[in-house]
Amino acid sequence: MDFNIYDFTSFTTWVHNALTSSMSPGWAMFVELAIVGVVFIAFYAVIGLYLVYAERKVCALIQNRKGPNRVGPFGLLQTIADLFKLLMKELIYIKNADKFLFNLAPFIVIIASFMAIAALPFAKGLHAIDLNIGIFYLFAVSSLGVIGILLAGWSSNSKYSLIGAIRSGAQVVSYELSVGLALLSIVIFSGSMQLSTIVESQANGWWIIKGHIPAIISFLIFLVASTAETNRGPFDLAEAESELTAGFHTEYSGIKFAFFFLAEYMNMFIVAAIAATVFLGGWMPFHIPGLDGMNHVMDYIPPFVWFMGKTAFIIFIMMWFKWTFPRLRIDQLLKLEWKYLLPLNLMNIVLIAFIVLMGWYIK
């Protein structure tokens, strides 16, 4: 087996052939799904924990302080300590809550983010499933998380939780439109909803560069709208501490609270990964026409590193948003979407369709 860090197709094919040669096709499929599940659970835990650490460090940088620096070198083990603390916390049961829905809600939020990760192409040949409707699938499953939030707010039997859940529902339903239209702009450019095809269409240049000003507008709209859809600041009206205690997860404690906490950071990773895949070339390296020497050096950087680096850059921008701008009011939040982002997005889509029809772009 020839393992290649630049193309994982041979590795995944070898794993599949090794399993099918030693067991029945049904069991081979079951073992493959189990392996993918274990890998994603480990990835989820590591990325979720260290995004919390990264947020604390970025916040400290912006506020001119140090952030976590006690537990482990540079505070790297602080989030691990926090996880153990949450695992050992007592689960407080709410007397008048709907117990079944109250316990179900955190799992729905977590499952929605797991389903979204499955379609992300981390490198060439390194994705769980390559759907020909990948963009549509991501758009659909990423919207399921709000069901868990609405259930959490309603089943808690708390007015603060309910207000937070209703706000989150209104926010997600509104900003989903702009997220979808921003992604649709690149679907028009690339002519496909399959994520691997969209990445390959950027071999001669990322869409944010090839698509000129309309692609940049779509990228900026996607960045703002996806930040709002994930309930991140300055759009975190669903869990506004100063007015709603903690919003929809006020009544949760221990591991159930940890589920909501981790899901928020994983959702941030997912929208950043989608932006990196669709607008910034995914695992494709950065090339400048004419500079063959530099392009050759860029090709040596593994695709997985490119993908994670671009995703980390967008995550940093989203964290920068949160710790720079003050929280909006709910009316300002909805006005931004319905009066500004949505009309701009619709006009941009028409412009992109015209550009593609006339062939005024690099294919």
Give the tens place of pLDDT for each residue, 215-228: 999 999 999 999 98
pLDDT digits (tens, 9 = 90+) for 175-210: 999 999 999 999 999 988 999 999 998 888 899 988
18 within some domain: no
Higher pLDDT, 66 or 219: 219
70 within some domain: no
| Confidence at residue 293, expressed as pLDDT on a 0 to 100 scale | 82
Confidence of residue 268 (pLDDT cuts 50, 70, 90): very high
**C-alpha 333: how far from its chain's center?**
21
97 within some domain: yes
271 within some domain: yes
What mean pLDDT is predicted for residues 144-159?
A: 86
142 within some domain: yes
- Burial class of residue 152 (count of CB atoms within 10 Å of its CB; 0-12, 13-18, 19+): buried
From the list 49, 45, 42, 46, the residue with the least C-alpha distance to 82 is 49
Q: Percent of the chain scored above 90 by pLDDT?
A: 30
Confidence of residue 93 (pLDDT cuts 50, 70, 90): confident
Contact between 45 and 86 (Cβ < 8 Å): no
3-state secondary structure of 126: strand
72 within some domain: no
| The total number of structural domains that make up the chain | 1
Q: Residue 128 pLDDT > 90, yes or no?
A: no
80 within some domain: no
Structural domain of 352: 92-358
How far apart, in whole angstroms, are the C-alpha atoms of residue 328 and residue 180? 23
319 within some domain: yes
Q: Residue 11 pLDDT > 90, yes or no?
A: no
Is the whole model's pTM more than 0.85, yes or no?
yes
How is residue 47 written in tokens?
């990325």
How far apart, in whole angstroms, are the C-alpha atoms of residue 139 and residue 229? 11
Contact between 328 and 170 (Cβ < 8 Å): no
**Measured on CA atoms in the order 132, 230, 33, 79, is the torsion positive or negative?**
positive
Average pLDDT, the chain: 87
Q: Residue 173 pLDDT > 90, yes or no?
A: no
Most confident range, picked from 19-23, 87-91, 194-198, 239-243? 194-198
Contact between 128 and 75 (Cβ < 8 Å): no
Q: Residue 23 pLDDT > 60, yes or no?
A: yes
| Confidence at residue 223, expressed as pLDDT on a 0 to 100 scale | 94
Q: Residue 1 pLDDT > 70, yes or no?
A: no
